[in-house]
Amino acid sequence: MRGLEGRRAVLTGATGGLGSAIARRLLDEGASVALTDVDEGALHALAGSLGGDTSVAVLDVADPDDWARTVEAVRDRWGAAHVLVNNAGIGSLGTVETETRERWDQVVAVDQLGTWLGMQHVGPLIEESGGGAVVNVASILGATGGLANSFSYAAAKGAVRAMTLNAALHWAQRGVRVNAVVPAFIGTGALLDRYGGSERHRAMLANTPMGRLGRPEEVAAAVAFLASEDSAYSTGSEIYVDGGWAAR
């Protein structure tokens, strides 16, 4: 893959199963990666396990002050940023009737507001650094009816897709490409620990045309492609890593 050697990337939600797979793939492709999340101990453990050129920053993606500090730390460390991967996210199983206002606010703060703040703070540094890419991690639940629950998550991830299109047009002639990856159900350790063998797990498999969960590495490959110069003429686009969900 071309275009990631020597590039500086900021990754949110780095310590989860999907985040760590994305970090590993970006490092394998030659990028330096600023690992961010809310758990400092987990961040340092991840950095130690990955090796490569990494930095660590505790970041609540819903906090503008945290974003400002993170950008300054990246600027001080590397003097540039070329890639932002907005991966941090939380979910909820509430339906349109059962979701609570408190949980709605939490999910929207991380999944939607956090994605906007990431673009708002890191996008200008990417432009200043000579251009690069933003990759937003959306979800098949923001593109389809899913399993008829996870209402707040679906709303927030649908907004991520819309924000991706809008930001892509905003930066189209300024060197910053903005694209999205749209995964379906990915078999991270956290998902399998919570749902493995359950009725929900069986529903995930039954509604996936390929009949299996995705692997974190499969999403990471799509992220790396959109972050690299191999996708230099792509902005405002989406890659579905969904086992056929969007084709149903």
Q: Annotated active-site positions, please?
A: 153
Q: What is the DSSP letter of 172?
A: T
Strand pairing category for 83-86 and 132-137: parallel
CB–CB of 12/36 below 8 Å? yes
Greatest extent of the chain over all pairs of C-alpha atoms, in Å: 49
Long-range contacts of 202-209 (CB under 8 A, 24+ apart): 203/147, 204/147, 207/147, 207/245, 207/248, 208/184, 208/242, 208/243, 208/244, 208/245, 209/243, 209/244, 209/245, 209/247, 209/248
Dihedral sign computed on CA atoms, order 72, 28, 137, 38: negative
Q: Residues 136, 138, 140, CA angle at the centre, nearest 5°?
A: 155
Length of the chain: 248
C-alpha to C-alpha distance for 179 and 181, rounded to whole angstroms: 7
Cα 70 to Cα 36, 73, 180: the distances in Å are 8, 5, 22
Strand pairing category for 132-137 and 238-241: unpaired
E strand or H helix at 122: helix 114-128
